[in-house]
């Protein structure tokens, strides 16, 4: 038994922009902080700093050095921050968090701090309401398939 796979209404409206975003993401380089390749303490994912030094090669955009962050790498405004499936991603901690959300626009991601019991409760409510769940685990899929099978019989 397969779980339902909702389609985003945003994806259909903004399909061209989503494709453009995907293409741009493929071309966008991994931006590096100066000397990131030299020092381990600097080599963290979110440690980018604007190059400011007088002789900084990245600031001067000298050939052979990593590319500099520029506004031209930015994605289209209408699709910025959306999940690649076209949904708006929402972090859920409890079943009540699903109230006020639209299944045709929002996809849910269950917080990693949620336990197994409440997680299954959230998933049941989400499937009944038709939400796309972004982080289903393998064992949860099996439990839900059994639950859906028992409900239909």
Contacting residues for 48 by C-beta, under 8 A, at least 6 apart: 31, 32, 33, 69
Tell me whether residue 25 is in a domain: no
| Spatial contact of 78 and 17, defined as CB atoms under 8 Å apart | yes
pTM across the whole model: 0.74
Three-state DSSP at 12 gives helix
pLDDT 10s digits, 82-131: 998 889 999 999 999 999 999 999 999 999 999 989 999 999 899 889 99
pLDDT 10s digits, 13-37: 788 898 999 999 999 998 999 988 8
pLDDT value at 151 more than 80? no
Domain count, the chain: 2
Same domain for 104 and 142:
yes
Q: What is the DSSP letter of 114?
A: S
Tell me what pLDDT residue 4 has. 60
Tell me whether residue 144 is in a domain: yes
Three-state DSSP at 37 gives coil
Q: Which of 68, 93, 119 corresponds to the end of one domain?
A: 68
CA dist., res. 143 & res. 71, Å (int) = 46
- Give residue 140's domain range: 79-152
């Amino acid at each position: 038994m397969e779980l339902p796979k909702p389609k985003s209404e945003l994806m259909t409206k903004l399909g061209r922009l989503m494709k453009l975003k995907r293409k741009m993401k493929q071309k966008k380089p991994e931006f590096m902080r100066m000397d990131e390749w030299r020092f381990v303490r600097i080599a963290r994912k979110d440690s980018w700093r604007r190059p400011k030094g007088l002789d900084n090669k990245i600031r001067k955009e000298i050939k052979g050095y990593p590319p500099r962050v520029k506004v031209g790498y930015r994605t289209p405004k209408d699709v910025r921050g959306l999940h690649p499936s076209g949904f708006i991603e929402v972090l859920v901690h409890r079943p009540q968090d699903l109230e006020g959300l639209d299944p045709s626009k929002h996809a849910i991601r269950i917080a990693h701090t949620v336990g197994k019991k409440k997680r299954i409760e959230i998933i049941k409510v989400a499937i009944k309401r038709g939400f796309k769940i972004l982080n289903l685990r393998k064992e949860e899929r099996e439990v839900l398939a059994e639950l859906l099978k028992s409900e239909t019989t």
